[in-house]
Amino acid sequence: MAGQEVQERPLIIAHRGFSAIAPENTLVAQRMAAELGVDLIECDVHRTKDGQIVVMHDATVDRTTDGSGALAEMTLAELKALDAGSWKGPKYAGERVPTLAESLELIGERARLIIEIKAEGIADEVLRVVEECEALDRVVIFSFDYETVCRARELRPELPCLWLTGGAQDPSAAAAAALVEKVERGRLTGISPSYAGATDELLRQCREKGLWLWTWTLDEPEQMKEAIARRVGAIGTNWPDRLRKVLGLS
């Protein structure tokens, strides 16, 4: 995957799949994003009670299924019995919580899968699934937890790993330098700040150091245009069709 300094356009990241339309982090949302022609599809992962890596954003199942309770206290079979689609609309009734392996199989070579590791201490198991699926060349690792993303990079130095963060707290060179230093200390590929935290100084320093800077989550065309003009490396969005249109790809 090319670094942002040689890209002609920012990469398109479908945030939790085509989540504006379909139930987030389900196979249908991922399939819709892949068929749209995005570069990357982002998903979130947790570990079940019986040690399976599954795709869901929250630590509980309450918001996006018809169940309740902590995901980590449920077995895969218990999760698979839940309806993960009806909350988004009746036509998605019966959608299930996918495993990471199922998502990798569905997406195949059509896009790269960004795996955001939500729970601490599961980086080893997540990478084991990726290896078993022979998908090391098709994934990128994200995490807000610095130690987790550094652990992934340690285990697989060839794997693109980006630290998720709110970004720089102010526009100063010092604020940007503190983040860049931490990224370099962890030997990470880059950083993924919120758009508000993707300051001009942070962009400049990342570009100077050859680090990737991918930002999130932009849904309005005017903001997308601004990010494109600022030459960010990738843009996460719930509306990947809008971003394709802004980029002149559809």
Catalytic residue from among 9, 49, 57, 231: 57
Distance (Å, whole) CA 103 – CA 113: 8
Q: Report the largest interatomic distance among the alpha carbons of the chain, rounded to a whole angstrom.
A: 51
Q: Identify the active-site residue in 12, 14, 15, 45.
A: 15
Token duo for residue 28: 């249908």
Establish whether 46 is a catalytic residue.
no
Which residues make Cβ contacts (< 8 Å) with residue 91, sequence separation at least 6?
none
Question: Comparing C-alpha atoms, which of 84, 49, 53, 55 is closest to residue 67?
Answer: 84
Q: How many CB atoms lie within 10 A of CB 182?
A: 15
Q: What is the full DSSP assignment across 103-160? A: HHHHHTTSSEEEEEE-STT-HHHHHHHHHHTT-GGGEEEEESSHHHHHHHHHH-TTS-
Spatial separation of the C-alpha atoms in residues 203 and 176, rounded to whole Å: 8
Helix or strand (DSSP H, E) at 29: helix 27-36
Residues forming the active site? 15, 57
